[in-house]
Structure 1
Amino acid sequence: MRTYRNPVLNADWSDPDVVRVGDDFYLTASSFGRAPGLPLLHSRDLVNWTLVGHALERLEPAEEFARPRHDCGVWAPSLRHHDDRFWIFWGDPDQGIFQINAPEIRGPWTRPHLLKEGKGLIDPCPLWDEETGDAYLVHAWAKSRSGVKNRLTGHRMHPDGTSLLDEGKLIVDGDRVPGWFTLEGPKLYRHDGWFWILAPAGGVETGWQGAFRARDFFGPYEERIVLEQKGTDVNGPHQGGWVRTPSGEDWFLHFQQRGPYGRVVHLQPMRWGPDGWPVLGDEGAPVREHRRPGLPPQPDAAPATDDDFPGGRFGRQWQWTANPQDGWATHHSGDGLRLTCVRTPDAHDLRKLPNVLTQRLPGTPSVVEVGLELHGEEPGARAGLAVLGDAFGWIGLQRGVDGTVHLVHRFAEAVAEAERDADHPRLAPRGRARLRVEIGADARCRFAHDTGDGFRYSGPVFAATPWRWVGALLGLVAVAPEGGGAAGSATFTEFRIRPL
C-alpha cells in the first residue's frame, strides 16, 4: 500500500484552500504583503504539488504597498471554480473583501474588485448553489480592526460575484457556543441538503477544526468539533478546505502553525459518518501517515526552490517584500540574478526594505547556498543572503570607503531598530563569496562563507523568528546609502537548498 506522510507541503503555505477541476487539483494560500501574491499550486494526487504561478501581480492600492506591510494585504483566500472560471476571494483587513477571476488557472486574472468595503472583514468564502442558482458569501472578523471577532456574517451575493444583495446577517455567533473562541476561516459548501461551514476556532496554535450545518443558509446552525490535536503532535489543526476526488473520496487540507517555519500543510482523510457529520483524520485526530488518495500515481514533486536565474530572471518561488519597482532586477544574456544596489535610508534594517527578494524557509533541516559578486563601487554598497523575520540575520559583501570589499555578517533582534555586527568584517579580496546558511532543528541558523579558501563559520547561532502571521523568509538583497547617481549592482548565482 502506497502511503504519504504529513505535512505534504512543508513550508509556509498559510491558510490553504483547494478546488478540483476535472482530474486536476489547485491550491492557493495567503501571501500577506508580498508581491506577486496569491500563489497557485497544482497537483494530480493531493500529495505532490508544484507552484505554477501567482494570481495577483501587484497589491492595491499600489501606494499603500510600496513599502513592506508584512502582516497586511492578502489574508486567507478562497479558491472556487464556477461558470467555467476560477474565482479567488480574500479579505484585506484594512480595506475589505476583494475578488478576482480568470478563465484558466494561469490567467489572465482580472484586477481586484472590492466586493465589500470595511475594516476587519476577513476570510471570505463564496458559494454558488447549483440547485437554485443563488449565490452566498460568508466572512469572519478581525478584532484588531473592527473590535469584533468570533462570529461569522452571511450575505446573499449577486451570481456574477460583483456585489452583495443585502447588509449581511450574523449567522454564527461563537460567543454563544460554550468553550468556543476566535472562530474564523470559514469555508462554505452545500452537501446532502445542508449548508456546511467548515471553520477553525481556538487559535492557530492550540485550536480545533469545527463543522456547522443548517438547512437554510442564514441558520440556525448546529456545530461539532471534527478535528483536534488529541494525543498527536499536530498542534491546533487549523483552517483549510474540503475536496472530493473523481471517484468520490473526500479529503481535507489544513495548516499547522510551526513557529519560524510558518503554516505547513497537512492532508487528512475525510468521510461522512452515519449521523451525517464529517469525520476527519483518524476519528477526529490528525494522521501523520496514511494511505494515499485513490488517484493515478504521480512522480515526486514539490514547489521549486533552486534557481540559476537564467537571463537574470528569477523563478516563481520568489516574492518581493512589497510591490516591485522597475530596475530592481536587470535582465541580461547570461545566468545570475543582477540586483541593483537600491539607495535607501533604511539600509540598516532589512525589515523596512521593499526590495528584498524572498522565498519560504524550508520546514526541514537544510543548507542554503548562493554565490555573490559585488559590483557596486559606492562606499557602503552591500548585498547578501538573509534570514528575515521579526529578527533578522544576513551575511554578504560590503564596499569600504577605501574601495576594498569586506565579508560582513550582521543581525538585529526583534526589538532592535538597526543591525549590528555578528562577527568581525574580513577582507574579500576578489569581491566574491559563496554564502551559506545551515538551518538546523528549531530553525537555528549557522552562517558561513567562502571567499576562496574554503567555508568558515561566522558568528553565533541565530534563531530564526516568524513575523506575526508569517514564517521566516530567506532573502536576497542589495542596497546602498542615500545619495545621488547609480550605486552599482550585485550578482547572485547558483541558489541551492539541500538537506542538512
Structure 2
Amino acid sequence: MSKELLWKSDMGNGIFRNPILHIDYSDPDVIRVDNKYYMTASSFNYTPGLPILESEDLVNWTLVQYAIDNIDYPAYKLPQHSKGVWAPAMRYHDGWFYIYYGMPDEGIFMVRTTNPCGKWERPVLVLEGKGLIDPCPIWDEDGRAYVVHGYAKSRIGFNSYLGLFEMSQDGKKAVSEDHLIFNGSRTQVTIEGPKIYKREGFYYIFAPAGGVVVGWQTVLRSKEITGPYEEKIVMRQGNTPINGPHQGALINTPEGEEWFIHFQDRGAYGRITHLQPVIWENGWPIIGKKSEGRDWGEPYLFHKKPMVSQKEIVYQQASDEFEQEQLALQWQWMGNHYDSFYSLNSRKGYLRLYSKNPSKKEPVILWNCSNILTQKIVTPQFTVETEMDLSHLGEKEQAGIIVMGGQYAWLGVRIADGKRTICFARSFDEKKEKREEILKEIPLPEQCNILKLSIKIEEKENVRAYFSFSTDGESFEVMEDAFILSSHTWVGARTGLFSVALDLKDEHGYADFSYIRYRKDGEEIPLEFQPALAGDMETMVHMAEYTKTNMSLKDPRHRNFLHYAAQSGNVELIRYLVQRIGLSPLDGDENGITPLELAKNEEAQTAMEELCQVKLSDTYKNPIRSGMYPDPSIVRVGNDYYMVNSSFVYFPCIPISHSTDLIHWNTIGHAIVKEEWAELEGARGGFAYWAPDISYSNGKFYITATYRRNDDCAVLRKQMIVSSDRPEGPYSKPVWIEEDGIDPSLFHDKDGRHYMLLNRGARILELNQDLTAAVSKAKMLYYGDCKKASEGPHLLKKDGYYYLFLAEGGTGMGHQITVARSTSIDGFYEPCPYNPIMAQSDPNAAIQRSGHGKPVQTQNGEWYMVYLCGRMAEQNYTLLGRETAMDPIRWTADGWPIVNELNGPSVLQKKPNLPVSLCEKSSGDDFRAGTLSNEWVSPRGRRTEDIHFGEDGLKLDGDAFDLNELEARNILLRRQTAICCTAETFITKLQLNPGQDAGMTCYYDENSWLKFGLFQTECDSRICLVEQIGEIQKRQDLLVLPKLPSIIKLRINIDGLKRTFSCQIDEEEEKCLAIREHLTYLCDEGLKIGKRFTGPMIGIYTYGKGGYAVFSAFSLQHE
C-alpha cells in the first residue's frame, strides 16, 4: 500500500491543528481504554459500516476495522441514501467494547466485541421504533443501565427533546418504557446526539443544539438521571472560522487532561473532526478557548497536543495499488456488498469490478447501484488518477471514475450498440428522482484498451471537480465543464470506481483497475506557518519557547513567520516576532515580497514601520532594474544618473539608462546603433559585449566594454571605447584596445591622466588623452581578496585614497564585492578588514549572486552601490537572468565603505533623498504609432528593410533562417522584467507559404527558445508550439484552423517556470491551448551549452522568406 500525507494535523513540534481529520467521520464518539483511544462515527448506507479508528495521542488516527459488514435489512441491498447507521456511541464495560447506534426507520441497535480491531458480534435490536436516534448508554454505579437518545422529526414528528429508557445489564434489551427527560424546544432547538457521563455526583449530558451548520455545544446536568436538568452552552463558533462546533465526545487522558472531539460541517467535504481542550469552572465544562467576559469557549485552530507520546505521524490511506488480497479499509460500497461485485485475486495487482446492475432497472442510474466502490475525501484539494483496462468490458456496460454526493458526475467508457465511447455524465433531480445527462461523448480510438482517468478537486468559492482522460498515458484531455460537488443529507461527497451493466442480464464482463493514486494539490500554506497566519499568539509563543521549532524557518516561497503574522494583522504577534525572535519586516520572499508589504491593516503596517524605522512609502524595492540588466556601471553628471549594462549579442548594443532618483530608469539610447560597427555576425548567445562601464570627463561621456569573440576565434577578447557629448548618443565609431581581459573600466584621474582597468585581479594600463590607444602595458595592481575570479574592477578617488572595488567569487552563487585602497594609484593596496562588503550569506534568500558593483555619490552627499544580482526561485533557477540592485554605502570612521551594513542585498530599502524620476516605461506597444521603443532589441542585428510601419501596425517580413540559426534576424525581443507576467500580441494580417510561421517567442539564445504562433502547412493553417532545447526541437500542433483568420490574439502567461499558451481567433472565446511546466531551459542554469549569461526575452518573429505578419500591438503586463 502506498502512503501519502494528504492531510497533516500533527506539526511534529508538540502542536496540532484542527481539523485533526479532514474526513467525513460525522457524529464521532471516542473512548479511552488504558493508553489507547478508539473512535467510531456514522456510516449511514455505506458498508462496511461503523468505522473503528485507533490512536495513542488523540491527534494521529488509524482506521483499523469496521463493526458491521452489511446492514441486516433487505432494503439495503440497494442504496438507502441518508438512512442506515446514525450517530453511534462507544463505551467499554466489563471487558466488552459496545457501540450503540440508531437507524431512524428501524430502531436502536447494539454491537459488541472484546477486541475492537477484531471481529464484532452481530448487531442486536435493543429498542424497535421509528425516529429513535443518537443513543448513548451508561452503566450506573448501582448496576442499572440506561440509554439516553434523541428523536428524528422526519420519522416521529418532533425533535428538540431527549429521551431515556432503562435496559438490561448486558445491554441487549430495553426493560422500561421510553420517556422524555429534557425539552429543548425553546432554549436548545434541535438538541440531539447526547453523550452521557457521570462526574462528582452529577449526570452530565453533552449534546449539540442549534442545527448542524451553525449550532453550538450544550451541556446538561442533574443529580438524577431522569432530571430535571440544568443547561449551559459551553462552546460556540465565536470569532473563529469553525462553524457549528458540536456533537462529540468527552475524553480524559492518563495524565488527567480532558479533551472534547467534535465535528464541523464543511459542506461538500462532509463533517470533519476537531479536538479541543476542556477546563472546568464551577462544576461546568468550558470547551476550547475561553475569552474574557464569556462563560463559554470557542474552538482552537491550533493547540498543544495532549501530554502523551506518539512516535510518528499517521498517514491517512487513500491511494491503493491493489496488491493485497482484501480491499483496503478506506473503501466502502454504497449499499450492502457481495463477493460477486469484485475480485482482487483474479488478476494480481488489479481490482476487478464485475459489471452488475443490482438496481434491476433500466436505464441504469448509478445513484441506485450498491456496487459503486467509494472512499471519503481526505484533503481539500487533490488529484485522483486511475488506470482502467477495458478490454473485457462487454456490450451494454460502462465503467469509470465517479464523484458521488448530493449529485454525482462520472467519466468512463460506455459500450452500447457496438460503439465504444468515452462519456462524461452528471446527475440531476427530476420529480424527486435522479436522472443522468451525458455532457460529452467522444469515440474511443479503436485500438485503445487502456484508459487513464483523473479528477482534480479544487476549492474556491465552491468545491469543483475537473475530469480528464488520457488514451496514450501521457497527454490528458480535460472536460470543459466543472462539476460542483455537494453533500447529500448528512453525507459528504466521495470519489469512487464502478463497472455496471446497462441491461438486466446476469452474465457480463468486467473492468480491471491497476491503481488509484491521490496527489495533494493546491498551494496550501505549510502547516508550521498557519498559526502565524491565524494570528495565534498563544501557539506561536509556545512554539518559540517550549518546542524545538526553528523560528528562522522559511517556507518553499522563502517566507518566514513574520510574512504570515503580518497578514493576520495581530500587532502583538508582529512585535513579538520582531523584537523577541529577531525577524525583519524588510526580509523578502522569493519574489521580493516583504512582511511590511503584506500588512493586513494600517495598525500592522504602522507597527512594522516603527519597528524598522522606515515608512513603506519611503522605500524602494530591489532590483531597481529588473530583467536582463547585468554588470551595471553608473555615473552622475550634475543631478542626472546614467547607467549601462551588458547586452551580449543583442542589437542595438549596450543600453543606456537615465534616472534622477536612482530608482526609476528609462532606456534613452544605446552605445552602438550602427550594425556595421557592432561586429555581431556569427556571435553566439552569451558572447559579444560584456560588462560595460560609463564615465564622464571633460564634457564627454565614455563607454567601454569587452568584446568577447566566440571560443573558436584566434583572438578571444578586445576592449571597445566609444564617446559622445550627449549621454543618449549618438556615440562615436568604436575604437579598439587590443588588450586581453574582460570587464574594462575607465578612471579619469584629477591630474588629467586616463586609465583602463581590467580583470585577473585588477590590472591597469594608461590611455592617451583622447582615449583611443594604450600608452603603457598592463600591470597588476592587486590580486583580490579571495583571489577567485577577481574581475569587474572600478577605481574611486576619495579623501586621498584610491579605492579599488572588485567582483569576486564567480558570477553565480557566492558572488561578492570586495574593496582595497592605496594612497598611490600604483599601490600597495591594502584589503578592507570588512570584506566582502557585499555578499549574500543566506542561500535561501530572495536575492543571490550579488557582486560586480560600482559606487556613486548623490548630489546630497549620500553614497550608493549599484551591483549585479539574481533572483533565485524554484530549486535555485535564475528566472530573469542577472539584474541590477542598489544599496546604501556607509563610510566607517576608519575610512572604509560598507554596503547595507554588511547585511547583504536588501529587498526593501529606504529611498535616496532625491527628486522622483518621471518613468516613461509602458506596459504596451501600439505599433500603429509607427516606432519601436528603445526596449526592443534583436539578436545579432536586424534587417531594417524587413520592418515596415503602417496604419495597421508593424509588418515583419519573414526571415530565411529560423530562431536556432545564427543568421536569423527578423526577431524583435524585449526583456522579461517580472517573474509573473502576461504577454500578448495581435496579428491582423498574414501571408505565409507552406513551412512558414509567425507569432510570439520566449527566447534565451539560439539553443534555448520556444515559439507559439500560426504555422502554414500544405493543407491548412494551425496554431503550434515549438520548443528548442539544446539540439532537440519538438513541435506540438495545438489547433487546426479551417480558414485563415482575420485577427489572432496570442497570449503567454508566465508564472515562474510555467508558461500557459492561449489564443483567440476572430470573435471566438479565448482558448487555453497548452501548459508547459518547469521550463528551466529559459534560465541561466537550464542547459550546459554556450555562455549562459543572458536572460529570458519575449517578443515576436516571422519565419520564411516571402511571408509576412502584421502585428498591431504587443503588451507585457506584470502580475
What TM bracket, shorter-length normalisation? Answer: over 0.9
Which letter does structure 2 place at the counterpart of 1:435? Answer: L
- Which string of whole-angstrom CA distances, capped at 9 and with x for unpartnered residues, describes residues 444-480 of structure 1? 1100111105112113111011111100111211012
> Which of 372, 379, 392 is the matching residue for 1:356?
372
Other structure's SS at 2:268 match: helix
Contact 1:311 1:332 in 2 (8 A): no
Equivalent-residue separation in structure 1 for 2:393 and 2:91 (angstroms): 50
Structure-2 change in CA distance of 1:116 and 1:485 (3 Å): closer
Of residues 211-220 and 300-309 in structure 1, the stretch that sits farther from structure 2 once superposed is: 300-309
Query: 1:118 and 2:134 equivalent?
Result: no
Equivalent-residue separation in structure 2 for 1:281 and 1:45 (angstroms): 18
Structure-2 change in CA distance of 1:293 and 1:380 (3 Å): same
Query: 1:167 and 2:177 equivalent?
Result: yes
Structure-2 change in CA distance of 1:410 and 1:459 (3 Å): farther
Query: 1:213 and 2:221 equivalent?
Result: yes
- Please report how far the alpha carbon of residue 483 of structure 1 lies from its aligned counterpart in structure 2 after TM superposition: 4.2
Structural mapping, 1:190-209, within 5 Å = 190-209=198-217
Structure-2 change in CA distance of 1:46 and 1:414 (3 Å): farther
Other structure's SS at 1:153 match: strand
Match for residue 624 of structure 2? none
- Which string of whole-angstrom CA distances, capped at 9 and with x for unpartnered residues, describes residues 152-201 of structure 1? 111222211012232132111112xx432101000010111110100000
Match for residue 607 of structure 2? none
- Which string of whole-angstrom CA distances, capped at 9 and with x for unpartnered residues, describes residues 240-271 of structure 1? 00111111110000000111100000000111
> Which of 349, 355, 364 is the matching residue for 1:335?
349
Larger RCO (alpha carbons 8 Å, 6+ apart):
1
Structure-2 change in CA distance of 1:414 and 1:299 (3 Å): farther
Other structure's SS at 2:154 match: helix
Equivalent-residue separation in structure 2 for 1:75 and 1:7 (angstroms): 21
TM-score (structure 2 length as normaliser): 0.43
Which letter does structure 2 place at the counterpart of 1:341? Answer: S
Match for residue 332 of structure 2? 319
> Which of 432, 456, 472 is the matching residue for 2:493?
472
- Which string of whole-angstrom CA distances, capped at 9 and with x for unpartnered residues, describes residues 418-439 of structure 1? 2222223231432211111000
Equivalent-residue separation in structure 2 for 1:294 and 1:478 (angstroms): 48
Other structure's SS at 1:492 match: strand
Match for residue 145 of structure 1? 155
> Which of 18, 21, 32 is the matching residue for 1:6?
18
Query: 1:440 and 2:465 equivalent?
Result: no
Contact 2:64 2:117 in 1 (8 A): yes
Equivalent-residue separation in structure 2 for 1:13 and 1:48 (angstroms): 14
Query: 1:100 and 2:111 equivalent?
Result: yes
Of residues 197-206 and 345-354 in structure 1, the stretch that sits farther from structure 2 once superposed is: 345-354
Equivalent-residue separation in structure 1 for 2:248 and 2:505 (angstroms): 49
- Which string of whole-angstrom CA distances, capped at 9 and with x for unpartnered residues, describes residues 184-227 of structure 1? 00001011111010000000001100000001101111000001
Equivalent-residue separation in structure 2 for 1:57 and 1:276 (angstroms): 42
Other structure's SS at 1:460 match: coil
Equivalent-residue separation in structure 2 for 1:112 and 1:298 (angstroms): 35
Which letter does structure 1 place at the counterpart of 2:481? Answer: P
Contact 1:376 1:487 in 2 (8 A): no
Structure-2 change in CA distance of 1:347 and 1:335 (3 Å): farther
Match for residue 400 of structure 2? 384
Structure-2 change in CA distance of 1:134 and 1:2 (3 Å): same
Match for residue 436 of structure 2? 419
Equivalent-residue separation in structure 2 for 1:3 and 1:288 (angstroms): 10
Equivalent-residue separation in structure 2 for 1:97 and 1:381 (angstroms): 40
Other structure's SS at 2:67 match: strand
In the alignment, structure 1 segments of 5+ residues that lack a partner are none
> Which of 51, 56, 63 is the matching residue for 1:39?
51
- Please report how far the alpha carbon of residue 53 of structure 1 lies from its aligned counterpart in structure 2 after TM superposition: 1.1
Other structure's SS at 1:184 match: coil
Structural mapping, 1:255-274, within 5 Å = 255-273=263-281
TM-score (structure 1 length as normaliser): 0.96
- Please report how far the alpha carbon of residue 382 of structure 1 lies from its aligned counterpart in structure 2 after TM superposition: 1.0
Structure-2 change in CA distance of 1:216 and 1:67 (3 Å): same
Which letter does structure 1 place at the counterpart of 2:373? Answer: L
Which letter does structure 2 place at the counterpart of 1:308? Answer: E
Contact 1:40 1:54 in 2 (8 A): yes
- Which string of whole-angstrom CA distances, capped at 9 and with x for unpartnered residues, describes residues 33-81 of structure 1? 11110000011111111100100011022x1201100110100000111
Equivalent-residue separation in structure 1 for 2:423 and 2:113 (angstroms): 46
Contact 2:429 2:435 in 1 (8 A): no
- Which string of whole-angstrom CA distances, capped at 9 and with x for unpartnered residues, describes residues 96-148 of structure 1? 0000110100232111111011110000000112x322211101000100012
Equivalent-residue separation in structure 2 for 1:141 and 1:459 (angstroms): 45
Contact 1:16 1:240 in 2 (8 A): yes
In the alignment, structure 2 segments of 5+ residues that lack a partner are 1-12, 291-296, 522-1119
CA radius of gyration, larger in: 2
- Please report how far the alpha carbon of residue 297 of structure 1 lies from its aligned counterpart in structure 2 after TM superposition: 2.8
Contact 1:346 1:352 in 2 (8 A): no
Match for residue 405 of structure 1? 420
- Which string of whole-angstrom CA distances, capped at 9 and with x for unpartnered residues, describes residues 261-318 of structure 1? 0000000011111x01001000110110111111103311143111111256421111
Structural mapping, 1:162-311, within 5 Å = 162-175=172-185, 178-273=186-281, 275-283=282-290, 284-310=297-323
Contact 2:361 2:504 in 1 (8 A): no
Equivalent-residue separation in structure 2 for 1:354 and 1:100 (angstroms): 23
Other structure's SS at 1:327 match: helix
Q: Percent identity?
A: 39
Contact 1:312 1:335 in 2 (8 A): no
Which letter does structure 2 place at the counterpart of 1:375? Answer: S
Other structure's SS at 2:367 match: helix
Contact 1:390 1:414 in 2 (8 A): no
Equivalent-residue separation in structure 2 for 1:82 and 1:485 (angstroms): 47
Other structure's SS at 2:435 match: coil
Match for residue 83 of structure 1? 94
Contact 1:124 1:140 in 2 (8 A): yes
> Which of 381, 384, 395 is the matching residue for 1:365?
381
Match for residue 1109 of structure 2? none
Equivalent-residue separation in structure 2 for 1:185 and 1:320 (angstroms): 26
- Please report how far the alpha carbon of residue 333 of structure 1 lies from its aligned counterpart in structure 2 after TM superposition: 4.9
Match for residue 50 of structure 1? 62
Query: 1:16 and 2:28 equivalent?
Result: yes
Equivalent-residue separation in structure 2 for 1:485 and 1:263 (angstroms): 38
Which letter does structure 1 place at the counterpart of 2:181? Answer: I
Equivalent-residue separation in structure 1 for 2:20 and 2:429 (angstroms): 31
- Which string of whole-angstrom CA distances, capped at 9 and with x for unpartnered residues, describes residues 361-408 of structure 1? 234111111111113453221101000112111111222433x53322
Other structure's SS at 2:110 match: strand
Structure-2 change in CA distance of 1:434 and 1:498 (3 Å): same
- Equivalent residues, number: 494
Other structure's SS at 2:249 match: strand
Which letter does structure 2 place at the counterpart of 1:154? Answer: L
Contact 2:398 2:502 in 1 (8 A): no
Which letter does structure 2 place at the counterpart of 1:158? Answer: S
Equivalent-residue separation in structure 2 for 1:472 and 1:94 (angstroms): 23
Match for residue 484 of structure 1? 505
Tell me which stretches of 4 or more aligned residues in structure 1 moved more than 4 Å.
none
